[in-house]
């Protein structure tokens, strides 16, 4: 048995193993969120904390326009009173809806975006929606900082909550 006769099958085997590994990773990678669209890319100055938003919603006038840019299923389960459902900021249709909703508003209007689908560092929705509003020229846009999810950081903290869809 020559050295070559042993090495050749081993090389072929290794090739197929590497190919199989690459294919399996390719399958997973299509589901991975784009890290550049993570909520962590938003600066501190563009954030609003839950307590601050809850207080501003109590005010008689100059209430912000609150827009939910997350999944509908979660919005129906619980949402901030008065918040309008737009659609996920991570998909083109959601951004189109966002564009249509705010198009006629003055660019100085205070708009608060929120999602709360999952931990802040994993949220794929708020950053693209924020960028879209910035591109449109809105100068007073805030994103609600939700560290874990809407349940933990809003509902279970006792802030006002509505259910159902609009």
Partner 1 sequence: MTGRRTLILVLLALFVVAGMFLWKNPVSVARKSAGTTGLDAPEFALKTLDGSRLTLSEYRGKVILLDFWATWCSPCQEEIPRFVEWQGKYGNQGFQVIGISMDDNPKPVQGFVQDFRMRYPVAMGTQEMASQFGGILGLPVNLVIGRDGKIKAKHLGMYDLNQLEQEIKTQLDSQ
> How far is it, in rounded angstroms, from Cα 112 to Cα 48?
8
Q: Hey, what are 162's tokens?
A: 């509505």
Could you tell me the smallest distance in angstroms from the CB atom of residue 63 to partner 1? 23
Could you tell me the smallest distance in angstroms from the CB atom of residue 160 to partner 1? 14
> Alpha carbon of 147 to those of 61, 73, 98, 114, 127: distances in Å?
28, 20, 23, 11, 14
Please tell me whether residue 77 binds partner 1 under the rule CB under 8 A: yes
Could you tell me the smallest distance in angstroms from the CB atom of residue 145 to partner 1? 14
CB atoms within 10 A of CB 115: 28
Q: Which residues pair with 84 in a beta bridge?
A: 67
Please tell me whether residue 90 binds partner 1 under the rule CB under 8 A: yes
Using CB under 8 A, which residues numbered 115 to 154 contact partner 1? 116-119, 122, 124, 148-153
Between helix 92-102 and helix 126-136 the angle, nearest 10°, is 40
Cβ-based nearer residue to partner 1, 42 or 155 = 155
Please tell me whether residue 3 binds partner 1 under the rule CB under 8 A: no
Could you tell me the smallest distance in angstroms from the CB atom of residue 104 to partner 1? 27
Compute the C-alpha angle 120/124/128, nearest 5°. 110
Cα-to-chain-centroid distance, residue 64:
20
Interface segment toward partner 1; rule CB under 8 A; list 51-59, 111-119, 127-135, 136-144: 111-119
Interface segment toward partner 1; rule CB under 8 A; list 46-54, 58-66, 114-122, 131-139: 114-122
Tell me which residues touch partner 1 (CB under 8 A).
27-28, 30-33, 71-74, 76-78, 88, 90, 116-119, 122, 124, 148-153, 155-158
């Amino acid at each position: 048995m020559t050295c070559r006769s042993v090495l050749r099958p081993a090389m072929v085997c290794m090739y197929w193993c590497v190919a199989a590994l690459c294919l399996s990773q390719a399958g997973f990678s299509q589901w991975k969120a784009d890290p550049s669209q993570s909520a962590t890319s938003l600066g501190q100055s563009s954030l609003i904390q839950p307590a601050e938003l809850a207080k501003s919603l109590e005010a008689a006038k100059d209430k912000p326009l609150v827009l939910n840019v997350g999944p509908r299923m979660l919005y129906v389960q619980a949402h901030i009173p008065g918040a309008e459902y737009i659609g996920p900021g991570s998909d083109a249709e959601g951004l189109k809806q966002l564009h249509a909703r705010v198009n006629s508003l003055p660019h100085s209007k205070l708009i608060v975006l929120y999602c709360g689908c999952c931990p802040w560092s994993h949220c794929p929705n708020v950053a693209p929606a924020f960028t879209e509003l910035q591109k449109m020229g809105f100068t007073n846009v805030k994103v609600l900082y939700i560290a874990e999810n809407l349940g933990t950081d809003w509902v279970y903290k006792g802030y006002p909550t509505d259910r159902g869809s609009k």
